[in-house]
Amino acid sequence: MSEAKTKASAGLAGVIAGRTSVGEVTQTSLRYRGYDIDDLAHNTCFEEVAYLLLYGELPTKSELGEFRSRVQGAMALPREVGSAIDAMPSDIPPMDVLRSVVSLLGHYDPDAQDNSREANLRKSERLLGQLAAAVGQWSRKTSGVAVVEPDPDATHGANLLAMMLGKKSGELAGRVVDGTMVLYAEHEFNASTFTARTIASTLADMHSAVSGAIGALKGPLHGGANEAAMRQFLDIGSVDNVETWFNDLQAHNKAHPDNKKLIMGFGHRVYKHGDHRASILRDWSIELSKETGQGHWIEMADRLQKLMLEQKNIHPNTDYPAAHAYYQMGIPIPLYTPIFVCSRVTGWCAHVCEQYADNRIIRPGSEYTGPSLREVVPIQER
């Protein structure tokens, strides 16, 4: 018997597409395997959260040390993959680099075609280290920064920051990057995670699923919004220009309804009353500004946020404060979304493992809107 179809929903809004024990998103909370995001952000490091997502529980001190050692051990990329990165054009988007790198890594991973849970956990740990290493190598290639070996005692976020900048940064900066990775690690059935699960549901391999997820995350309506938000701040230019910039954009959209310009970093499908991750990250960015002297970015963001709330009733999402936090640390804008990848890969891999454990191929129905039944007219009569 065929399954009954329900009414189509644009963007699958409001549609329950499956079950998960990895993360829970509501209008007022975000939890990873039962732990509230605020609790995790302030009381754990990213590797603890990565372990939680992959293995289901927070690690003990010894488990964390062993996990960190395995992840850092994977930061030595296969020679062939490193050579491929060096051969890529320097002007391509870093997200395209990471998408290709993950696909290439599948050729050299000894567990590539093994979809058992044990093999997929090993692949997940390796991808966590390999993606960070790939971002670091790309930064060296495009920005000429120095090689920085991972510090065995540093957090994953602090090591990633050092590899991107070619130098070790202050304790606060490392903690903020690590904290943002906690905030970005998992978010239920978002576009990239759902893409990964859909690919996994065909019983394709982990590297295929993660490659597809990176492609989905690249878009400015998903992961790329943090880069777009920072370019927006740079376009505004100064705190005093916020209102003029906002009004000019509204005038443009009114005059060109078919070519509207979006204000990036705002709105969320679920968090209609504000993304609580954004407020956590804003506080961290304020702390950074006390060291960097770049508080004008927060003031500019707050002014634009006030206008958006008053006139559009829309709150910022996590990408909004991530933009000015990353910029204060000197991270190149094209690397903002790759940081997201280095974090969210843990959520993707956890979901892929969950999909394999209780799989049914994801194949939704559709609501047909084309012509009704027609007959073919012979070609000589058309």
Catalytically active residues are: 222, 268, 319
User: Within a 10 A sphere around the Cβ of 115, how many other Cβ atoms?
Assistant: 18
Q: At residue 39, what is the residue type?
A: D
> Are 163 and 148 within 8 A, CB to CB?
yes
- Report the C-alpha gap between 130 and 307 in whole angstroms: 41
What span, in angstroms and rounded, lies between the C-alpha atoms of 127 and 144? 24
DSSP code of residue 379: G
User: Looking at residue 368, what DSSP letter applies?
Assistant: -
* Token digits of residue 214: 């990176």
Neighbouring CB atoms inside 10 A of 273's CB total: 10
DSSP letters for 264-312: TTB--SS-TT--HHHHHHHHHHHHHHHHH--THHHHHHHHHHHHHHHHH
Please give the Cα distance from 349 to 197 (Å, whole number): 9
Token representation of residue 232 = 């927006």
Alpha-carbon gap, residue 26 to 28, rounded angstroms: 5
DSSP annotation of 316 reads B
DSSP 90-148: TTS-HHHHHHHHHHHHHHH-TTTT--SHHHHHHHHHHHHHHHHHHHHHHHHHHH-PPP-
Structure tokens belonging to residue 23? 């993360």
The most distant pair of C-alpha atoms in the chain lies apart, rounded to whole Å, by 78
Q: Position 12: which residue type?
A: L
Q: Please, are residues 59 and 356 in contact by the beta-carbon 8 Å criterion?
A: no
